Amino acid sequence: MVVETNSYALFTSSSPKFDFSFLYPQDWKPREIEAKGYAEVFLQGPRSADSKYGLFFAIRVVPTKAEGGKHGTADQFIDDYLNRVKKFANFKQLSKARGEFAASEAVEFVISYSMPLPLNTLNADETTILERRIVVKRGSFFYVLIYSGTENDYHASLSSFEYMAQTFQFSADSVEEARAFRPLVTPASPLIVREKGEDYGPQIS
């Protein structure tokens, strides 16, 4: 993959909640959100002219149970989300894999679902949304990388997401540590690294 690094900017934050950095496309504007129960960096990506949703990349920091959150393990955290999101029309879990991301154990999954967009309009179109999440438990926090968008937009910017994920590193880690562990993200969806075969189950619908 060829990436023009001069078109990327480095995300860092003065907030201790965002104790990580990554490179992101310069025209994706990051927004830092600190709310009750979570903190998030949200970056809106470009959207195609006919898109009614576009796409985004976000990194969310959520406390584990030990820190006052709801879930103790990454599996519980993921199951809770999947149980909610599977109520969307045409929900499918496309893949799930375990591996290492930024020197920590991680789970990555890809889902798709649809919704009529724009919401609450007369001429909404049933629109397929693709979403990829990488969940990392590190210390007493979950770090969730989220990449989501309409089918077309998702694929159009997938290399940007992969670059953002591949350049992600926790501030406390040395460059050598970050380099020692290549991200779970693989070159092209849905060819995800499969480290434990049993994680590939049947599609859920």
Partner 1 sequence: MGEQGTAPKNMDEIDEVTKITKAGNRLASTKVGNPIAGTLEGKGTRIYFGETEDAIAQFDPEENEIVISNECHEVSPNVLAAHLAHEGTHVQWDQPNSIEQEYHAFKAQAEVWKELKRDEADEQCDTVATIMDLAEEDAKQIIRNLYRDLPEY
* Nearest in space to 160 (alpha carbons), one of 150, 147, 141: 147
5 is a contact residue toward partner 1 (CB under 8 A): no
Q: Residue 47 and residue 9: Cα distance in Å, rounded?
A: 19
Q: What part of residues 26-65 is at the interface with partner 1 (CB under 8 A)?
A: 31, 33, 35, 37-38, 40, 42, 44, 53-56, 58, 60, 62
Q: What part of residues 74-93 is at the interface with partner 1 (CB under 8 A)?
A: 80-81, 84-85, 87-89
Nearer to partner 1, 129 or 184 (CB): 129
| Count of alpha carbons within 13 angstroms of residue 121, beta-carbon side | 10
Work out how close the CB of 43 gets to partner 1 at its nearest, in angstroms, rounded to a whole number: 11
Dig out the tokens for 77 from the structure: 């955290």
Q: Residue 180 and residue 176: Cα distance in Å, rounded?
A: 6
122 is a contact residue toward partner 1 (CB under 8 A): yes
**Which of 12, 67, 79, 118 contacts partner 1 by CB under 8 A?**
118
Nearer to partner 1, 22 or 56 (CB): 56
Q: Residue 74 and residue 81: Cα distance in Å, rounded?
A: 11
Q: Residue 127 and residue 57: Cα distance in Å, rounded?
A: 19
**Site for partner 1, rule CB under 8 A:** 31, 33, 35, 37-38, 40, 42, 44, 53-56, 58, 60, 62, 80-81, 84-85, 87-89, 115-124, 146, 148
